[in-house]
Structure 1
Amino acid sequence: MTTEDVVLLDEDHNPIGSERKDVVHSKSTPLHLAFSCHVLNAAGQVLVTRRSLGKRAWPGVWTNSCCGHPQPGEPIEDAVVRRVRHELGLSVRELRSELPDFRYRATDASGIVENEVCPVFLAVTDEEPHLNPLEVMEARWAGPGELGSALRSAPWAFSPWFVSQAREMPLYAPPGSGSPFADEAPR
């Protein structure tokens, strides 16, 4: 098994070094670079995944299609394509930036902190997933409206970054509302 590194960032999102991924993710995780990808099929459905129970943070939680970290010096788009292939066995096309400045910090039940600048991408595939069980235990295609409704009614069942991303993505909004969370009080 090869060791993965993450790119550490300062508060202005400038790279300041790198560290092993297994060392960085802890109860005091420093700010680092990541990405999220929401994969759609030709029917416009979104692939949602359930994280492997072997994952250190948020095991067994439903989330967006794929997340990961670019390696030092790796273009982020290349990292997205690499991780989608690794986790889901999918080739993607039409990769596009959706939320280039997304950032979040969240703590899971075990105390592990995610603290990431996490640009969000959309991509399209013509394939069915072939899951890497070390990364993903389940996957399902869902309509964006159905998913937006589930994210609104049961946000606790999903990763916090997925819920936060969906709040900002027109993809998950009912027609004419602008957001799947349009009826919520402002945060």
Structure 2
Amino acid sequence: MTELLADPSSDREALLVELVDDTGAAIGACSVADAHRPPGTLHRAFSVLLFDRDGRVLIQQRAAVKTRFPLQWANTCCGHPLPGQPVAEAAAVRLGEELGLTAGLTEVGSFRYHAGDASTGRVEHEYDHVLIGVTDAVPRPDPAEVGSWAWVAPTALRTDLAASPAKYTPWLAEVLDIAERAHTAAEA
């Protein structure tokens, strides 16, 4: 008898996320799938944005099999820490899983957002921690996670975000704002 391999995206949907209140304080846990059912439950997440030595940012097009916002362009990588897991630790693990990269990561801010994905019916309601890092390494993406990737100047990204917002995830603009302010301050 042949055993079918589990779909990795469905396995990720069973992982736990940390539920938070409006201030980001932990208040419980539920599965990824449950947190993203309408109307969405506020939970902890992270978004990584890597810069190269020329100041460009690494963005990725989410794979077609993603359960939320498939094929849209987003920051370098994102995900959810397990309940009680340090955000920077979870972000470093996810960066390796999605893009085969390592980088020193620094948390530079956070924000809350709520967005529905009309194509999948899922909802993001996240308290999102933004982390940045610097690398010149070439990504080695997992095709189950990443459809494509590109290094792009932040000004060009902002212009395209304004002209074609449907190409991008709803959280990318805020991640870019927070990350670029912190990166510019660190370079000064």
- Under a length normalisation based on structure 1, what TM-score does the superposition of the two structures give? 0.83
**Residues 132-162 of structure 1 deviation map (CA, whole Å, 9 limit, x = unaligned):** 1111111111112211221122222110100
- Say whether 1:117 aligns with 2:110: no
Q: Find the aligned partners of 1:169 and 1:89 in 2 and give their Cα distance.
A: 21
Number of aligned positions between the proteins: 171
- Say whether 1:33 aligns with 2:44: yes
Q: Find the aligned partners of 2:121 and 2:33 in 1 and give their Cα distance.
A: 15
**2:130/2:178 contact within 8 Å kept:** no
Paired residues for 1:1-187 under 5 Å:
3-93=14-104, 95-98=105-108, 100-109=109-118, 110-170=120-180
Aligned-residue RMSD, C-alpha: 2.0
* Percent sequence identity over aligned pairs: 35
Q: Find the aligned partners of 1:11 and 1:47 in 2 and give their Cα distance.
A: 30
Q: Find the aligned partners of 2:147 and 2:36 in 1 and give their Cα distance.
A: 21
Query: Tell me, which stretches of 5 or more residues in structure 2 are unaligned?
Result: 1-7
Q: What is the identity, as a one-letter code, of the residue corresponding to 2:110?
A: D
Give the structure with the larger helix fraction. Answer: 2
Q: What is the identity, as a one-letter code, of the residue corresponding to 2:130?
A: V
Q: What is the identity, as a one-letter code, of the residue corresponding to 1:26?
A: R
Q: Find the aligned partners of 1:60 and 1:170 in 2 and give their Cα distance.
A: 24
The equivalent residue for 1:185 is none
Query: Tell me, which stretches of 5 or more residues in structure 1 are unaligned?
Result: 176-187
- Under a length normalisation based on structure 2, what TM-score does the superposition of the two structures give? 0.83
The SS at the match of 1:140 is strand
Measure how far apart 1:90 and its partner are.
0.2
Q: What is the identity, as a one-letter code, of the residue corresponding to 1:72?
A: P
